[in-house]
Amino acid sequence: MRQASVVLALAFLSACRQSASTPAGPTPPTLPATPAIRVLMLTATAGFRHDSIAAAREVLSALAPANNFSISATEDLNRINAAGLSETDVVMFALTSGELALSAPQRAALIAAINDGKGFIGIHSATDTLYEFPDYGRLVGAYFKEHPWTQVGRVIVEDPSHPAAGVRDAFSLEEEFYTFRDNPRGRVQVLLRLDPASVGAIGDYPLVWAHAFGNGRAYYNALGHFAATWRDQRFQSQLIAAIRWTGSR
C-alpha cells in the first residue's frame, strides 16, 4: 500500500514537471496495477431458489472491471475443491440454499482455503445453506431462522469506519429481513443491524457482520432478496467493500 502511494506521488510529480515544460501535457505514465481480486461466485441451490440470482450475477459482473476484481460465477459445485480454490482469492456463496452436495474432501478444502488466508463472503440465503456442516456455520457466522418482515425497514450502520462496512449512514429499503437461530454478536463484529422500531419490533437483529477465520476473513450480508436490492447503489458499495476487505491479507 505504502509502495503504491510512493509510486503515485512520483508519477504525480513527474506529470507536473512534464506539463510545466509541455503545455499540451503528455499522457501520464501508467501506474503498476494491483492484481484484480478473483472472486468465485457460487449461486447453486438445493432448496429455495431466489429470482434475484440473475440480477446478482449481472450486477457483480458489471461492477467488477471498474473495481479491480473479477467474477467467475458458477452453479458447478465441482469448482469447490483444493485446485479450484487455489485459483481464487474470495469464495462467495450468493443466494445459495439447502444441503449442497459437497463431498467431505470438498468441504475440507473450503474450510482449509479460508483458514489459510482466502476470503469468504455469504449473501442472504448463504445462512440458509449447509445446516448439516457445522464448520460452514462457523464460517458464515449463523444459520437462518425465519424472515418475519418483508417490507421497508431501516438499516443502522454500527461501525462506518470498518473497511468492509461500505456505507456510512443509516438507510431504508424494502427487503426480506432475516432472523437467525442464534445471535452471532460476540462471535463476529456486527457492521449493520436492523432498526427494530422500523418494523415494529424490539430486540437485536444483526444483518451484516465480519470476522477473522484462521488466517482468512469472512463476511456475511443478509440483504439481497430482491433484484432491486442488487441494483441499489448502497448495497453495491457494501459488496465492493466486502470483496476488497475479504480479498486483502
Select from 162, 193, 217, 225 the one that contacts Zn ion (CB under 5 A). Answer: 225
Torsion of CA 156, 239, 111, 192, to 10 degrees: 0
Kindly indicate which of the ranges 16-24, 137-145, 156-164, 170-178 contains the residues binding Zn ion, using the contact rule CB under 5 A: 170-178
Pairing state between β 90-94 and 119-123: parallel
Of 89 and 176, which has the nearer Cβ to Zn ion? 176
CB of 230 to Zn ion, least distance (A): 12
Are 145 and 203 in contact, with CB atoms under 8 Å apart? Answer: no
**Cell, residue 222:** 443478509
Of 52 and 189, which has the nearer Cβ to Zn ion? 52
For residues 204 and 9, give the distance between their C-alpha atoms in angstroms, rounded to a whole number: 46
Of 95 and 190, which has the nearer Cβ to Zn ion? 95
Kindly indicate which of the ranges 132-140, 154-162, 175-183, 199-207 contains the residues binding Zn ion, using the contact rule CB under 5 A: 175-183
Interface characters, 47-76, with Zn ion (x: CB under 5 A): ------------------------------
Of 81 and 131, which has the nearer Cβ to Zn ion? 131
| Residue 93 binding Zn ion, by CB under 5 A | no
Size of the site for Zn ion (CB under 5 A): 2
Residue 82: name the closest of 50, 117, 111, 125 by CA: 111
- Helix-helix angle 53-63:233-246, to 10 degrees: 70
> Where do runs of H (alpha helix) occur along the chain?
2-21, 53-63, 82-86, 104-115, 134-140, 227-230, 233-246
103-108 long-range contacts, CB within 8 A, separation 24+: 105/81, 106/77, 106/80, 106/81, 107/133, 107/135, 107/136
Closest-approach residue to Zn ion (CB): 225
CB of 116 to Zn ion, least distance (A): 31
Select from 155, 176, 180, 207 the one that contacts Zn ion (CB under 5 A). Answer: 176
Interface characters, 123-162, with Zn ion (x: CB under 5 A): ----------------------------------------
Kindly indicate which of the ranges 10-18, 86-94, 133-141, 225-233 contains the residues binding Zn ion, using the contact rule CB under 5 A: 225-233
Residues that bind Zn ion (CB under 5 A): 176, 225
